[in-house]
């Protein structure tokens, strides 16, 4: 019985060792890839303005209304001729308006972030498709974000291959024949 357990454990270790030998992990930072897409050049798209129209059309009218109501209620509250019960109701309204106004900046930021993500979704999908193609071609079974690794071999950085897959050239990227631009040092020196 002990021999059977020993053989079973040895088989499990052998299978686990074989499976891990077939694992090939690459890494990339997809945000950098998307940021280099020519369609998103700074002159064409300013991410601060994505969602701005939605904010102006949907959120600002409400905020303007709340601001005017807050000012109106402040004036009502300052009226010393109002009975105590009415002033308490006005104070409740004032507090509610104040909370809404205080939360407005956070709401605007959330809306802009959502609109930016919505806008960038097709670009991330395009980058993901290129990453999948490069991973398959180079035999990578796993691709993770660069932030996961503290140390990793440069040969497993898929960035340049994915940029090539997308047809994006870096300003200092070597020519296709491997020639280096003048004034650059070979890697490792």
| Model pLDDT for residues 105-138, shown as the tens digit of each residue | 898 888 888 988 998 999 999 999 999 999 999 9
Spell out the domains of the chain, with CATH numbers in brackets.
24-36+47-166 (3.30.910)
Q: Which two tokens stand for residue 8?
A: 């079973």
Q: Would you state the pLDDT for residue 53?
A: 78
Which among 17, 8, 20, 27 is positioned nearest to 162, based on CA atoms?
A: 27
Q: What angle do CA 79, 81, 85 make, to 5 degrees?
A: 90
Q: Would you state the pLDDT for residue 3?
A: 59
The SS3 assignment for 37 reads coil
Widest pairwise Cα distance in the chain: 97
* pLDDT per position as a tens digit, 160-173: 999 999 999 887 75
| pTM listed for this prediction | 0.63
* pLDDT per position as a tens digit, 20-60: 558 899 999 999 999 889 888 765 666 667 777 778 888 88
**pLDDT for residue 67 is more than 80:** yes
Percent of the chain past pLDDT 70, that is, above it, reads 76
**pLDDT for residue 62 is more than 60:** yes
Task: Yes or no: say if 130 and 158 are a contact pair by the CB < 8 Å rule.
Answer: no
Q: Which two tokens stand for residue 176?
A: 């296709």
**pLDDT for residue 182 is more than 60:** no
**pLDDT for residue 186 is more than 50:** no
Alpha-carbon distances of 126 from 40, 60, 85, 140, rounded to whole Å? 13, 34, 61, 19
């Amino acid at each position: 019985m002990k021999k059977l357990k020993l053989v079973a454990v040895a088989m499990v270790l052998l299978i686990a060792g074989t499976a891990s030998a077939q694992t090939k992990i690459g890494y990339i930072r997809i945000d950098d890839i998307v940021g280099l897409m020519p369609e998103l050049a700074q002159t064409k798209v300013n991410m601060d303005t994505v969602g701005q129209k939605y904010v102006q059309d949907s959120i600002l009218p409400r905020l303007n209304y709340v601001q005017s109501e807050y000012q109106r209620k402040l004036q009502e509250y300052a009226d010393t001729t109002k009975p105590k019960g009415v002033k308490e109701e006005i104070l409740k309204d004032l507090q509610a308006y104040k909370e809404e106004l205080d939360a407005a900046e956070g709401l605007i930021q959330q809306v802009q972030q959502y609109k930016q993500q919505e806008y960038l979704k097709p670009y991330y999908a395009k980058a993901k498709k290129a990453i999948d193609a490069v991973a398959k071609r180079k035999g990578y079974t796993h691709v993770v974000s660069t932030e996961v690794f503290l140390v990793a071999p440069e040969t497993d950085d898929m960035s340049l291959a994915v940029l090539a897959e997308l047809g994006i050239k870096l300003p200092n990227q070597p020519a296709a024949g491997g020639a280096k631009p003048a004034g650059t040092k070979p890697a490792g020196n």
